[in-house]
Structure formats: structure tokens, C-alpha cells
Amino acid sequence: MSTIEQLNEVSAVKFRTEHDTMGDVQVPADKYWGAQTERSRNNFKIGPKASMPQEIIYAFANLKKAAAYANAELGVLSVEKRDLIALVCDEVLAGKLDDQFPLVIWQTGSGTHSNMNLNEVISNRVNVMQGKKIGEGKPFIHPNDDANKSQSSNDTFPTAMHIAAYKMLTDVTIPGVEKLRDALKAKAVEFKAVVKIGRTHMMDATPLTLGQEISGYVSQLDHGLKALRNTMDHLAELALGGSAVGTGMNTPKGYDVKVAGYIAKFTGLPLRTAENKFEALSAHDAIVESHGALKQIAVSLMMIANNIRLLASGPRTGIGELHLPENEPGSSIMPGKVNPTQNEAVTMVAAQVMGNDVAISVAGSNGQFQLNVMKPVMAVNYLQSAQLIGDACISFSDHCATGIKPNYEGIKNHLENSLMLVTALNPHIGYENAAKISKLALKENKSLREAAVELKLLTTEQFDEWVKPEEMIGTLK
């Protein structure tokens, strides 16, 4: 398409006039959003591809539908309006209106614009359902008085944050981490008898089995999952019903409990109303706490992925104790080179999550008085971390962990050449004599056996009897 054709296409876009408390504004005629959405769209042109996460929009649809049901049950909204609001919310949840939510993350810190985006889309969509044109006449569902009844942006956005976060953990993060843990657990069992040399300070240490080494990774992920699940009880608390500052002003009695009940019903998640709405609006400690558990898992993943790629380094000039699946060519210039790409992807994900944790911590600390005004940046960073960890764990499990194999020759060579096997002699000849053997062997490039006999500290038979790597691995399974 030529520049002239593009200009003609842009000029062909038709607009309608929408009105809000600040006056008139021109809105694309074919869009369901209204004046407040359009003002935000024009005033916050910040960042490429910085749209509000779809998970937040869908969480809003669930809470708007739940609010309509709670309001109708409590007698402050007609059943007819309830059903129409719910119908539009169902369309949102089905993905039929995805192009009606154009706002970016970098907007008001309360998320007011995204809340109004939902309200305006609901109002105008109902207009069309009733045979009118978008924006024609007085709306049957008023965006503020009906779609937003018993709500404030201050309690809807944190509610959407918690719904989206809880769902992401349930659907993506936890299943992904569990899959990787289980894959590594199977390898720990498979390699439980493969004796290898240990390393501390990046230097040779006493032996252990490959299974024991991998079992440590399994335990890390188990503890990470436990920490994450422990935070989800706080995350299950919803702010809705707190209204503007936590007092519940303009909400009917019992609304907070009922609306949380409907949200739980519609989402299938064990969500409930927050005990203290003042905390729920002004502080987002549940998000901070829960993301801290995601950071813990990221720290574990960084260590696990790096250790596995170091053990596989080589294939001839590195440690070379593991064979990893060969997934893609590793170089555009070096023929035959294969790299540990899955490990690299996981470490990048871990770095991103650690960075996200800094942003969330800073944002969480900025709850001034009755409201935190960094909600959108907390939401987007949390959801990105939860998504990345779940996806990365599945990718690493499928394309790396399940295909790990020991390099038995490399393991044997390192084990037999390690000077730290001398540790087995401590109980028989003492630490200082054992150290003399190790130092001589290193200095003169001899085996430990040769050095021990040369120093006349023990016989060949005694060395073979006392230095048995397979008996130095302890009793841990």
C-alpha cells in the first residue's frame, strides 16, 4: 500500500462525538469504547506493544458480571440490566471483543481508565444489542451508574489483579514447575547409582551420585512450589466492596461477600472477600509476597539451568559429565557446534523475573494513604513472571531435562583423577598426612596411590581397601 493510499485509508475513518464530564471527544465510530477510554488512548502514547494484559481484561469481565449479579440479588439493579451486563461480559470472556480494549499499561496508577474502558464497552455494546447505533441516544446501561454500580476503580483493579494472578498461577505456573520437578525427579532415581565427583567452590570435592546431585534440584523446586502455594491464600482475598477508600461507601450491605462468592463461582477459583479493605486498596502486599515466591523459583531455576549446562560443557574441553539433547545447530560459522539453548532460555527468564521483582517491590512500597497508584505495573510484571516461569519449565522439561544422559566415560575419568578422594584416608592416617599425599600427587602429576606409597604412609593394598568412591556417598537417597 502506497503512502497516499495509507493516508486515504486513515482519512476514511469515521468518528462520533462522545461526551463525559470534561466535555466532548471524538471516538472512532465503529468502536464500543467511549470518551474516557479515548482520552486515555490519546494522552498515554507510551511504549510499543504495552497493552493492558488480556488476563486483566478477562478478570474485569468476571468481576463486572459478578457485580451485576450481586447488585441484582441485593435489589439495587434490575434483573434485565443484570442479564445484559452479563451477556456482554460473556462476550468479552469468549474473546469476541478483544479489539475493544486499546489502553496501555502506562496510564493512571489506579487503573481507572481500564475500568472505564470495560464500563463503556458494556454500555455501548448493550445499545447495539437493543438495535441502536453505538452511542445513539441515552444508554440503557449507563457506564457509571449501572456497569460500575457498587464499584470504584480503586477496588476493581486490585480485584482484577488478584483474579488474573491466581488464575495464572493455577493454570500455567504451578503445572509448569511441577512438570519440570517430576522430570528431574525421574532422573534422580534413574541416576541414583552413578557415582561422580562433587565440586565445591568450583573445585574438586568428595564423591556423590548424579542422582543425589539432581535430587537437590528437585528439593529446590518442591520448596519453591510450597512457598508459592503458601502465598495464594493471601492472594485469594479480593478488594471488591471497598469502593473508593475501603469504607464500602455506595455499596449495599453484604455486597462484598456476595460479589466475591459470584466471582469464585464464575472463575472456579477459591476467592473470597478481603478481611480488611483498607489494606486491599492501599497496599498490595499479597502481590509482593507472592511474587517473592516466584522470584525464589527463578533463583532456583537459574542455579539448576546453569549447573546442568556446566556439567554438560565441552564436549571435549569442558566438564563433560552430561549429554544434553541436541535441538538445533549452535553456530552460523562453526560446523557441528551444538549449544545448551534451553538452559540459556531459562536463565534469561530467571533474570527477567528477578528484575520484575524489583519493579513490584518498588511499586508495592508506593501506597500513599488510602490508595496504591502503581497497580498496572505490578499487574503486568506479575503476570509476565508467572507466565514465563510456567512456560520455561515446560520447555526445559520437554526439550532438555527428559533427555539428559550421563557421560559415563567423562564421569569415570574425573572421579578417578580427583585428589579429593584422599579425604577417605583421614580416619586412618590423619588430615595432615592425607594432605601430604594430595600435594605430592598434584605437584608431580602422580596418582594418589602412587604418592601414598612413595611417602610410605600406607601400602597399595591399604589404599585400595580404604579409598572406595562408591562407599563415600553416604546413605542419602
- Cis previous bond, 143, omega within 30: no
**53 labelled ligand-binding:** no
Sign of CA dihedral 318, 323, 326, 327: negative
d(CA 199, CA 193): 18
Q: Is 128 annotated as contributing to ligand binding?
A: no
Considering only CA atoms, which of 206, 212, 210 is closest in space to residue 467?
Answer: 206
Asked if residue 10 belongs to a known ligand binding site, the reply is: no
| Start-end of H helices in 77-206 | 79-93, 112-129, 153-168, 174-190
Residue 251 assigned to a binding site: no
Whole-angstrom distance, CA of residue 6 vs CA of residue 112? 33
List Cβ neighbours of 95 (8 Å cut-off, separation of 6 or more). none
| Residue 144 annotated as part of some ligand binding site | yes
- Among candidate residues 162, 331, 361, 395, the one labeled active-site is 331
Cell of 303: 542455579
C-alpha cell at 222: 518442591
Give the residue among 47, 48, 16, 12 at the shortest CA–CA distance from 30.
16
| Residue 317: other Cβ atoms inside 10 A | 7
Cα 187 from Cα 217, distance rounded (Å): 11
153 annotated as belonging to a binding site for a ligand: yes
The answer to whether 327 is a known ligand-binding residue is no
Contact indicator for 250, 344 with CB cutoff of 8 Å? no
Establish whether 142 is an annotated binding residue.
yes
3-state secondary structure (DSSP) of residue 371: strand
Reading phi first (left if > 0) and then psi (alpha if -120 to 50, else beta), residue 232 is in: alpha
Per the CB < 8 A criterion, the answer to whether 103 and 114 are in contact is yes
Instruction: Give the residue from 36, 43, 34 showing the smallest Cα distance to 121.
Output: 34
Active-site hit among 162, 201, 300, 414? 201
What one-character-per-residue DSSP string does 175-230 give?
HHHHHHHHHHHHHHHHTTT-EEEEEETTEEEEEEEHHHHHHHHHHHHHHHHHHHHH
Which residues, other chains included, contact 13 with Cβ-Cβ below 8 Å and sequence gap of 6+?
28, 29
Q: For residue 331, indicate whether it is catalytic.
A: yes
* Cβ atoms of 260 and 273 closer than 8 Å: yes
451 CB-contact burial (10 Å; exposed 0-12 / middle 13-18 / buried 19+): buried
112 assigned to a ligand binding site:
yes
Known binding residues for substrate are 110-112, 142-145, 152-154, 200, 332, 337-339
Q: Which residues are annotated as a binding site?
A: 110-112, 142-145, 152-154, 200, 332, 337-339
Residues involved in catalysis: 201, 331
